[in-house]
Chains A and B, each alone.
Chain A
């Protein structure tokens, strides 16, 4: 089996290790580029949201280099993401590719462990559990890595490039839980040490749609651009937080939902409640501003946007909402973030 899945930023490393632990040979598609996007746009329905297009392009490029089994998550509630996998499979089949396609539902962990994965990989549920544990640990590592990277980027951009390269290699290399734990500790301590540096000019909370939060290509490297202004980016959502949430291991989300329910009594789907709750949480922690990113036409995030306007008013904290479509010019994005950061700076004075 040559397995492939769409990239989700650094957290792809955890997914790769999960599949490898189950005995699959993972076929990583080439890094996301303009070509990936162009392929995705070409074969997608015009009005679908951007993550669909990019991940479809990802699959095409994986199939081109010999992948024969594709994995895609599914099962969002009341959001188009629920249709992604089925539609992508159909489109790819119509293009004439030969492959097996597995839609993996997020909301049936028992089926996942005891039926689906054992069937696909011909392994015991115990092995699936072990692989799952490795994935959780690895995603925690990816998250800690990203959090440390955010700090060093804000302090010293050139130094962060070296750190990124060095630690990515380390993270990809470790496979044993013990080693992962050591590295996790190391990264946490580095972050703590760097946080004492007073080179950080502003702190901004990043909220929004999860794919855009995870994948730098989709958000036009927003985090990198922000850090060039000496901004520390804080973000809660990741594969790790998602896994913890799905396996009911994350008590913190209760607080997030509590904050969110004040603004929206029912979930409109997707992760709108997370967006709203996290924004309030960041503000309570004293960030200077919030940046909200989501794909153009994303229904849940557009609903969250209206709650964010209210939050901005209630707490008197500026919130910048940015929707992304398939245009690749960074100019508009840079104008907006530059102005936003300037505004935060002038407010602080």
Chain B
């Protein structure tokens, strides 16, 4: 029986999962939209993997990452729940051991990870504002009626250059509208937007970081060739988009799960959980004026987790 490792990355916009074999080769992967329902997305992933992998496997380890990592971890019985920064770094140095910079732009956040000799040594992440991330691109593509998959390709067709203000998405949008009213072709405006996103990223997120080659570009936005080109132009370096750029976080989580279990076998509840029903219930605690929202998670009406209090009265620590 083959041993497999599962990694799941629950992000704000998309939920990603991979199944790896013992040598960290990707057996299968899937990318789904979270659509604001992380529980459903995770169960769908498990269902898909059950169909593709079958029941005749041994689970070596399961890891979760991404902003929904905690909930996903509780649901499926993960061996390790790790933040996405480390997960991305681990996956990057697995495929490209001499990688020194990881650019990762996802749905709601963007980050830069600096690696030296395969070890993450520095990182930065956008803070209060989500300017220049995937969801903004998504929104603009929708507004212009262009499928997001085509968005980047259009940018490459631009013959002239248009400057778009990239500091803030609100300003960027009004700038785009204004330029369109002036009569600039849509390709040029999209190309301008891609450049603005890259400028914003380099000025805000990657500010002061020592960007050295090899540079990897991961996360959903790496699918956008327009942004890829803009990075290449701005950094004057080769930008590598790894084969599994969409699911690098999930791959990292699976690798970390193997490190964690170290051959002990997994806590994973098995593919069968895709038939279980998961519910969450939020109640407001009236113990003090903090009025924390306490999240109860149920599996088939059985309480499996309590989370969200500041004082530890509910969660016991």
Contacts and interface: CB of A to CB of B under 8 A. Distances in A.
Given A313-B210, A318-B122, A335-B67, A342 B83 contact: yes
B83 A335 contact: yes
B309 to A, nearest CB: 11
A309 interface: yes
Contact of A342 (B86, B207, B289): B86
Contacts of B121: 318, 343, 347
A311 B120 CA distance: 19
A339 B288 contact: no
B229 interface: no
Interface residues of B, number: 22
A325 B289 contact: no
Nearest to A323: B127
Interface in B98-136: 119-123, 125, 127-128
Size class of the contact patch on chain A? 20 to 34
A156 interface: no
B126 to A, nearest CB: 10
Given A331-B67, A335-B84, A346-B120, A325 B208 contact: no
A33 B290 contact: yes
Nearest to A228: B317
A58 interface: no
A323 B128 contact: yes
A117 B82 CA distance: 54
A346 B116 CA distance: 11
Contact of A339 (B67, B85, B208, B291): B85
Interface in A267-313: 296, 306, 309-310, 312-313
B310 interface: yes
Given A309-B208, A342-B86, 14 more contacts: A30-B289, A33-B288, A33-B289, A33-B290, A35-B289, A221-B310, A309-B207, A310-B208, A338-B82, A338-B86, A339-B83, A342-B82, A342-B83, A347-B121
Interface of A: 30-31, 33-36, 221, 296, 306, 309-310, 312-313, 318, 322-323, 325, 327, 331, 334-336, 338-340, 342-343, 346-347, 349
14 contacts: A33-B290, A296-B128, A312-B208, A313-B210, A335-B84, A335-B85, A339-B83, A342-B86, A342-B120, A343-B85, A343-B86, A343-B120, A343-B122, A346-B120
